[in-house]
Amino acid sequence: MSRAHNILVIAHGHPDFSLGGGEIAAYSLFQHYQQHPDVAQATFLARAEDPAGAPTGHLCARRANEYLWYQGMRDWFWQGTAHRDSLRTRFVDLLRALRPTVVHLHHYVHLGLDILSVIRQVLPDTRIYLTLHEYIAICRHYGLMIKPDSMELCKQATPQDCHRCYPAHSSEDFWLRQQFFQDRLAVVDGFIAPSEFLRQRYIAWGLDAQRIVTIENGQPERTPLPARALAPDERRNRFAFFGQVNPYKGLDLLLQALASLPSEVQKRLVLEVHAAHFDKQSRELRKRIQRLLDPLVEAGVVQWMGPYRPEDMRRRLAHIDWVLVPSIWWENSPLVIQEAFSAGRPVICSDIGGMAEKVRHGVDGLHVPAANALEWARTLSQVAELPGLWEQLAGHIRPVFTHTQSVQAHLDVFAA
């Protein structure tokens, strides 16, 4: 890629305000684009939520080469842009001012699918790339591919099955939705999948296999942390959950698993919960988690550590042995897995989707049958008692894919 090129990165949120994996991955990539000798300029545009409520469409600077756009969607089904006037005015003005040679989007959620056609109309010679962070185009249920009532996993989407999940929309609506999404995505020059699992899902849905490549999210270049120092006769029994609290991340499943163990087994385990957005969840989920949590905290089995910033992650990892990823949906490429491996910590995860792809069972971590609290209980109790297992798995953790490697892989795709 020539230094004449400049890259506009567009994301559905800014890590200053939203610490989701997609937002962090997009911002990290933008920062490393800026440092690459083959990139003349990189700019970051992130959707922001107006605290007053409805999106205003305002666009303002955050810091040098960073902008916030107070945008949203008018509906989830069609991913329609809420503030359409600003899409055709302020956003277009920014595109014309920046004249990027590459626009790299990390989402259209909260921005709307219309953003793609506007970019193509205003910048017909600019190359457009889209990183797919979950299955929004395939699944109406927030891109989770999990049935909203039964929590049963979906292996594929059909208009008839989607209609059963959302009877307010006909089978024809879902068929038209797929045609609509594929039509809007046709202007994209190439797609990036952070996991091969996600790539294969989109190929099965209808994307051309030649237009979508797999590039893992990058991590900083760091040496693994030393193993946690153990007291005499202590085992590798300190587990940690990192991430958002929601119905699909599996925290309640972990607590249920721990609650099912005999008290003498519980006393040999400690689970640290490093969690965010608990207060934003439904009253029902909060009550269910709190009911499980209180006796476990009182017994010293669970320690509620609260939310954390990305820069706190490594310090917190230093004090634990295992990272748990019990999500009950497919996931794509959870950053927490790469962060754990970067720190030299084995991962125990659900045996599905991008999680199972990233963690090699019996090599650098373990798989547990998804959504099975009894199997999680059995695994945790056994892992804490098996001498040498942690050392065996930790010793086989491979170096993680770095930001430098990720940026170069992206630039190679852009230049192809």
Rg of the Cα atoms in the chain: 22
- pLDDT class for 1, splitting at 50, 70, 90? very low
Let me know whether 53 and 148 are in one domain: yes
Q: Give CA–CA dist 106/27, Å, rounded.
A: 10
For the stretch 217-251, pLDDT in tens is 999 999 999 999 999 989 999 999 999 899 999 99
**What is the number of structural domains in the chain?**
2
Whether the predicted pLDDT of 34 surpasses 90: yes
Whether the predicted pLDDT of 268 surpasses 90: yes
Let me know whether 197 and 307 are in one domain: no
- pLDDT class for 274, splitting at 50, 70, 90? very high
Q: Give CA–CA dist 106/11, Å, rounded.
A: 5
pLDDT attached to residue 54:
87
**pTM > 0.75:** yes
For the stretch 285-342, pLDDT in tens is 999 999 999 999 999 999 999 998 889 999 999 999 999 999 999 999 999 999 999 9
Let me know whether 157 and 190 are in one domain: yes
Helix (H) or strand (E) holding 391: helix 389-394
Look up the domain containing 318 and give its range.
238-394
Task: Kindly list the distances between the CA atom of residue 117 and the CA atoms of 33, 87, 198, 279, 343, in Å, as whole numbers in the listed order.
Answer: 25, 11, 24, 37, 42
β strands within 152-233, DSSP E: 190-193, 212-214
Tally of CB atoms within 10 A around 87: 20
Average pLDDT estimate for 67-90:
95
Let me know whether 251 and 147 are in one domain: no
Helix (H, G, I), strand (E, B) or coil at 161: helix
Let me know whether 272 and 203 are in one domain: no
Query: What's 308-371 look like in SS3?
Result: CCHHHHHHHHCCCCEEEECCCCCCCCCHHHHHHHHCCCCEEEECCHHHHHHCCECCCEEEECCC
Let me know whether 156 and 264 are in one domain: no
Let me know whether 269 and 148 are in one domain: no
* Structure tokens given for 329: 């949906």
Let me know whether 243 and 159 are in one domain: no
For residue 397, the one-letter residue type is: I
pLDDT attached to residue 337:
97
For the stretch 150-189, pLDDT in tens is 999 999 899 999 999 999 999 999 999 999 999 999 999 9
Residue 133: which CATH number?
Answer: 3.40.50.2000
Average pLDDT estimate for 363-368:
98
Strand partners, 271: 239, 302
Residue 231 domain-assigned (yes or no): no
Residue 1 domain-assigned (yes or no): no
For residue 234, the one-letter residue type is: E
- pLDDT class for 349, splitting at 50, 70, 90? very high
pLDDT attached to residue 336:
95
Residue 136 domain-assigned (yes or no): yes
Residue 224 domain-assigned (yes or no): no
Whether the predicted pLDDT of 371 surpasses 80: yes
Average pLDDT estimate for 72-99:
95
Let me know whether 206 and 99 are in one domain: yes
pLDDT attached to residue 3:
56
Average pLDDT over the chain reads: 95
Let me know whether 207 and 298 are in one domain: no
pLDDT attached to residue 310:
86
pLDDT attached to residue 280:
86
Helix then strand count (H, E) for the chain reads: 16, 16
Strands of 347-350's sheet, edge to edge? 302-304, 270-276, 238-244, 322-325, 347-350, 365-368
For the stretch 392-411, pLDDT in tens is 999 999 999 999 999 999 99
For the stretch 119-144, pLDDT in tens is 999 999 999 999 999 899 999 999 99
Give phi and psi for 90, each to the nearest 5.
-60, -45
Pairing mode, strands 59-63 and 66-69: antiparallel
Whether the predicted pLDDT of 2 surpasses 70: no
Strands of 190-193's sheet, edge to edge? 59-63, 66-69, 41-47, 6-11, 102-105, 127-131, 190-193, 212-214
For residue 17, the one-letter residue type is: F
Whether the predicted pLDDT of 213 surpasses 90: yes
Let me know whether 204 and 348 are in one domain: no
